[in-house]
Amino acid sequence: MSDEYTTIPEHLVRRFRELKVELGFGIVGDYALRLFSELDELGFPILVTADEQGAGFAADAFARLRGFGVVACTYGVGGLKLTNAVASAWAEQVPLLVISGAPGMKERAPGALLHHRVKDFDTQLRVYQELTIAQAVLSDPRIAASEIDRVIDQILTAQRPGYLEIPRDLVDTPIVNVSGPIPRTSAEINPDNLAAAVTDVVEALRSAGTTVIQAGVLVARRGLSEHLLGIAEHLGLPVATSPLSKGVFPERHPLAIGVYQGAVSPAEVTEQVESAAHIVQLGVLPTDMNLGAFTAHLDPDHLIDCTDDDVTVGPRTYRNVPLEAFLPALHEAVAGGRDAPMPAAHEVPTFTPDGAAEIHVERLILAVSAHLDERHGVLVDPGDCLFASVELPVPAWSLASAYYATMGYAVPASLGAGKADPDHRPVVLTGDGSFAMSGLEAGWAAFNGVYPIIIVMDNSGYGTQRPMRDGPFNDIAPLNISRLVDVFGTGQSWRVTTEDELESAFTEAFASDGLALVHVVVRKGSTSPALARFAAALAKRV
């Protein structure tokens, strides 16, 4: 093929390599067979998962750590099963690309009842128009390459998912080549407002009173963590995160004070943030989960709010000053001179088991914390695991569906995380309800060469809801979870009911190098302190 022409798979793989993405996740079907085959022959494998939602969660985790992720599927039954994972990526601003095989253009005769079709041939496209920032059906070889570039550009610019639909009869068709790198849309920046905002914030930080930084997830999405660390260390400012941004700032750093989530957080964290003279919010999404069911009490007069678009200092708003421009400029403005002295380092958590005592959630989290170190990344499912993790300091990154709050995220996400960052072994915290939804993905993670430590907190049902309103709707079928390694044919497992058994299992699991599945039976009705605080706040709203 001449330099003037390429194919859709060739152009896709070229762009993926520019983004340092070497693989995707998905499940094939006949409408996508040729696409998957061509991608594989070009050195871009699609790793198989147990189902499409699991592939979406794996690609989502990969994107959170690498800055871009790819999930592939077939038409209808594949694309529509994937929608929940894509909805999560939209809600939590994850740069995820969906590529879907589809019926060929020559097959789309009016009234043709092709398998997997729902209403019209563009039904799936219309669904994804609600879930993605940009979409394209690559039906015109003259503009297919430029359409791919447009969708990728909008994904990266908005940090939202995008959608490409590829008719199977166009996979091998020559398309007009586009030379050069991916054309990128530059963020709109007002340089005068940027300079004024930096000056205003620097003056505020130098005024009397305490200052606390609250680091949001957009710091990570925009690749600004080093600037956050530099500003905090130079000025000696304490840093809080949110449930969605755990790990954006290293939580065992001397300046880390933990997760601020309104009334859900420990009282000392809430007091330190809410009493500060200046609260510098960097890319914080004001969701109900981040604000602890809106129990956060942050005085607007004390806020310095830096979003993806603007900077607001008290009553003054500087338009067209995006976070990706502001944070580096602020870092440069404060970087001169000597760094502030560091507070004392946090104590390394320890856990001493209490013999045959039954396990409570708070003690389980302490045991996990004592075994975590710099070799591990953490993935957490919604439920009491998520609330309990408010008081779990993570040494490296932490991933969770902490706003959209879709159960079943963490186990399949461990595959994507393990592939995106092989230097950190995934440690999964999930409940029995969440594990029931996607636990089989543990076997597919091992099949694909990722060996997470999966800790299943079994509290006999949907324990998050019980403190608010209990009933048979919170009960689920019991599972003999530790027997799953026999089904997978690989890995080790433990079922523990006492603190001694817990410590022994964790010691072996964290020392292992294969799939490790720890089924932890906690006392029914035991909840984390964070969930108790959250339930008290939310019960007033339910």
CA 18 to chain centre: 22
Q: Is the pTM of this model over 0.85?
A: yes
The mean per-residue pLDDT over the stretch 288-317 comes to 90
More confident position, 286 or 515:
515
For residues 133 and 109, the answer to whether their CB atoms sit within 8 Å is no
Which of 196, 400, 214, 397 lies closest to 307 in space, CA to CA? Answer: 214
Q: Is residue 350 part of a domain?
A: no
Helix/strand/coil percentages in the chain, nearest 5: 40, 20, 45
Residues 80 and 122 in one domain: yes
Q: For residue 227, what are the contacts with CB-CB under 8 A and spacing of at least 6? A: 327, 328, 330, 331
Q: Is residue 25 part of a domain?
A: yes
Residues 372 and 507 in one domain: yes
Q: Is residue 77 part of a domain?
A: yes
Residues 265 and 202 in one domain: yes
CATH number at residue 149: 3.40.50.970
Q: Is residue 345 part of a domain?
A: no
- Residues 103-155 have pLDDT tens digits of 988 887 777 777 777 888 899 999 999 999 999 999 999 999 999 999 999 99
Residues 153 and 300 in one domain: no
- Backbone angles phi and psi of 400, in degrees to 5: -160, 155
Query: Of 147, 176, 205, which marks where a domain is finished?
Result: 176
Residues 249 and 106 in one domain: no
* pLDDT band at residue 2 using 50, 70 and 90 as cut-offs: low
- Per-residue pLDDT for 460 more than 80? no
- Per-residue pLDDT for 1 more than 70? no
Judged on CB neighbours under 10 Å (0-12, 13-18, 19+), 7 is buried
- Residues 176-202 have pLDDT tens digits of 999 899 999 988 999 999 999 999 999
Three-state DSSP string of 219-275:
HHHCCCHHHHHHHHHHHCCCEEECCCCCCCCCCCCCCEEEECECECCCHHHHHHHHC
Residue with tokens 């609600």: 130
Residues 138 and 103 in one domain: yes
If one counts the domains in the chain, the total is 3
Residues 291 and 372 in one domain: no
Q: Is residue 287 part of a domain?
A: yes
Residues 327 and 373 in one domain: no
Q: Is residue 184 part of a domain?
A: no
Residues 306 and 382 in one domain: no
- Residues 373-387 have pLDDT tens digits of 999 999 999 989 999
**Could you tell me the maximum CA-CA distance found in the chain, to the nearest angstrom?**
73
d(CA 185, CA 421): 28
Residues 81 and 160 in one domain: yes
d(CA 5, CA 33): 23
Residues 103 and 61 in one domain: yes
Query: What is the domain extent for residue 418?
Result: 361-538
- Residues 203-259 have pLDDT tens digits of 988 887 899 999 999 999 999 999 999 999 999 999 999 989 998 999 999 999 999
Residue with tokens 């599927």: 73
Q: Strand pairing of 316-318 and 376-380?
A: unpaired
Q: Is residue 183 part of a domain?
A: no
Q: Is residue 342 part of a domain?
A: no
